[in-house]
Amino acid sequence: MPPSGDHRYFTSTAVLLNEVIKLAIALTLAIYETSKTLAPSTPATVLFEQIYNAVFSGDGWKLILPAVFYTLQNLLQYVAVENLDPVHFQVLYQVKILTTAIFSVVLLRRHLGGKRWVSLIVLTIGVSIVSLPSPESAVDALLLHGMPDHYFPRSKHELGQASTADLSPESHLTKRSATYEGIANDLPPPDPLMNYSVGATSAVVAAVVSGLAGVYFEKLLKESSSHTSVWIRNIQLSFYSIIAATIGGVMWQDGSGIREHGFFEGYNWVVWTAIGLQAAGGLIASIVIRDSDNIVKNFATSISIVISFVVSVWIFKFNVTVTFLIGTSLVLLATYIYSIPERSRHRPPAVRIFS
Ligand code: C5P
C-alpha cells in the first residue's frame, strides 16, 4: 500500500481497470463477430441474447481458474516490480519461459525434443543477459543525471576541491573512475521500502503462475469439443478476473488505502497509458495463443525486448553494449534452433534393399 501523501497509485486498481478495458474491447469484437453471422434485419435483442448465452451457458465457468491465476500473476508482478530493481525482476521473471514449456508438456501432452529444450534454455539465458545493464552505461547515466552524494564519499575526498561544474574531459574521466569505485565499494543503502526476498519470491511465483495460466487458457481455447471464439473466451476471462481483482486486490490488498485516499489516487496519463498497453498486450497475447501457442508467445516477447532496446539505441542514443550483443545473439540462436523441424518420433520402417 502506498504511504499516505506520496500520490502513488494503487496497483490493484490498475489490474482491475486493465480487465474492464479488455472486457469492453472483447465485448465489442464479439458483437461484431456475431452480427456477421446473423441476417441484417435481426433485432439487437437477439444479438445480445446470443452473446449472453455464449458467455454464461456451457463451460464458461471453466475460465474461473485462469482468471484467478492471471489476476494473481498481475498482482504479483506489481509486488515484484515494487520490491526489486528492473534488472533482477526481468532476469527472475524469464523463468516463465521454462515453466510454460513444462506446463505445455504436462497439461497439453506436447512433445518437446532435446533440441527444443536446449533452445528454451538458451532463450532464457539470452533474454536475461539482454536485460543486464553494462557497468559503463550505468555509470554514464548516473553522471549524466547527477550522482547522489552517498555514491562517492571517498572519491569526493580524493577529488579534493573539484567542483561538479568542472566539465573538462579529464575531470569527467577522474570522476568516472572514482564513481566506479564508489559504486563497487560504497553502494548506497537499499531503499527501505524495498524487500528483496519478497520481490524475488513474487517474481518467481508470478513466472510459475504465468506458465500455468497461459497453458490452461490455451487448453480451453483449443479444446476440440468447444468452438467458442477467442472473444467470447476473453469476455468470460475478464468477467471472472474482474471479480477476482475486486475481491483479492481492491478490497483485500488495498482496501483500507483506497477507502482513505480514493480509487484514482495518483493516476496520471502515464498510469493510464501503462494500463492501456497492458490491456492491448493481453488481447494480442490471446490471439497469439490461439493461432500458435504459449511457447511461441514467449519467443515473441523475448524478441520484443531485443527490438525495444534497438529502438532505444536509435531514438534515445543508448550505448550498444557487449552484453546486449551476446544476449541478442543467444536469443536469435535459440529462435533458429526452435524453428528447425523436429525429426518425427515415429520413423517409417527402414526400406530393405536386399531381401
Ligand atoms: O508474462 P506473460 O506472457 O505471462 O503475460 C501475459 C499477459 O497477458 C498477462 O498479463 C495476462 O493477464 C495477459 N492475458 C490477457 N488475456 C488473455 C491472455 C493473457 O490479458 N486472454
Q: What is the mean pLDDT of residues 175-180?
A: 42
pLDDT at 223: 86
Q: Which atom of ligand 1 is nearest to the CA of 281?
A: 8
Grid coordinates representing 126 are 539470452
Taking the C-alpha atoms of residue 159 and residue 136, their distance in angstroms, rounded to an integer, is 20
Tell the residue nearest (CA) to atom 5 of ligand 1: 210
**Residue 87, pLDDT score:** 87
**What pLDDT was estimated at residue 348?**
56
ipTM value for the complex = 0.96
| Distance from Cα 74 to the centre of ligand 1, integer Å | 8
Least confident of 113-117, 221-225, 293-297: 221-225
- pLDDT at position 4 over 90: no
**Ligand 1 atom closest to residue 294's alpha carbon, by position in its atom list:** 3
Contact predicate 81/206, CB 8 Å: no
Residue, of 26 and 227, whose pLDDT is higher: 26
- pTM of structure: 0.79
Comparing 10-14, 168-172, 192-196, the range with the smallest average pLDDT is 168-172
233 CA closest ligand 1 atom index: 21
Q: What is the pLDDT of residues 64-78, one digit of tens each?
A: 999 999 999 999 999
pLDDT of residue 186: 46
The best mutation among 70, 71, 208 to test binding of ligand 1, ranked by most ligand atoms within 8 Å of the C-beta, falls on 70
Mean pLDDT of 267-286: 96
Q: How far apart are CA 96 and CA 112, in angstroms?
A: 16
**pLDDT band with cut points at 50, 70 and 90 for residue 318:** confident
For ligand 1, atom 8, name the residue with the nearest CA: 282
Q: Is 272 exposed, middle or buried (0-12, 13-18, 19+ CB in 10 A)?
A: middle
Query: Who lines ligand 1 at CB under 6 A?
Result: 22, 70, 74, 96, 210, 214, 217, 234, 237, 281-282, 285-286, 301
Distance between Cα 289 and ligand 1 center (Å):
10
Residue 140 reports pLDDT greater than 70? no
Ligand 1 atom with least separation from CA of 71? 12
Mean pLDDT score across all residues of the chain: 83
